[in-house]
Structure 1
Amino acid sequence: MFEVWWEHDGISYPEQGWVDFGYVILGWWVSNIIRISMGEEQGNFSFMDGPFSLNFQYQKDNRVFYLTSEDNLVNWSVSLKEVIDALLLFSRSLQVELSNANALKKEQVILQKYVSVLMDALKQHF
């Protein structure tokens, strides 16, 4: 379990310090970036623990995610670059935590692949 949450404009979702299955949800979230790169325009950034999810509409023309929570407490406009940067930061944080925990080599290799996918997305879009 790892601390993971979204934060924008001083607002945290689901809340600051949220603990969840970071390794698993990072895979889901990176998959969203892959689908965006392939032309999809909507989806969600789900959490495993609890009923929390940020739904998104992606506008390719201006590279902006419009994120809303199920309870409508979150209503953010966030650039693709900001989302990718946040996922890269989370990926690198997970790499350190897994390394410190002597995680399996397989998990570390998969995390490195996530970082590569995100870096490729940055190159593709910027």
Structure 2
Amino acid sequence: MGNWVENLSHSEGLDGVYSGWYFNDQIQRVIHSLKYEERATLGWELGHHLENMLPLDQVGDLDFLIPVPLHSVKKRERGYNQAKWIAQGLSSIWEVPVDSSILKRKKIYRNSNNVIQYRTETKYG
């Protein structure tokens, strides 16, 4: 199966996939604040910081940025899509438009924190 980002980046019709950060405790805390502490503008700041990690000249020509979609139920709960805020922050520097209409989330996924808690409770409960 290999690295899913590497596999995805070699898909037909897709020129590239990029990630700005390796997932670690610090990034997890920042993303948690962005998602659950109503700090949407933190996404804008992350987008600006992302430009330092991933300069446009290294990425190449882009038609647009596509944020990972959020299911409509989750969007109603949070009031915003954190990925879109990150994309908009990056877009303001790169001057590349954000298009949120290309991908749609069909299935709602449970919060990963709740999944871990559920598994722990059912295993040891």
User: TM-score, normalized by length of structure 2?
Assistant: 0.32
* Structure with the largest fraction of strand: 1
- Which structure has the higher relative contact order (CA within 8 Å, separation 6+)? 2
User: TM-score, normalized by length of structure 1?
Assistant: 0.32
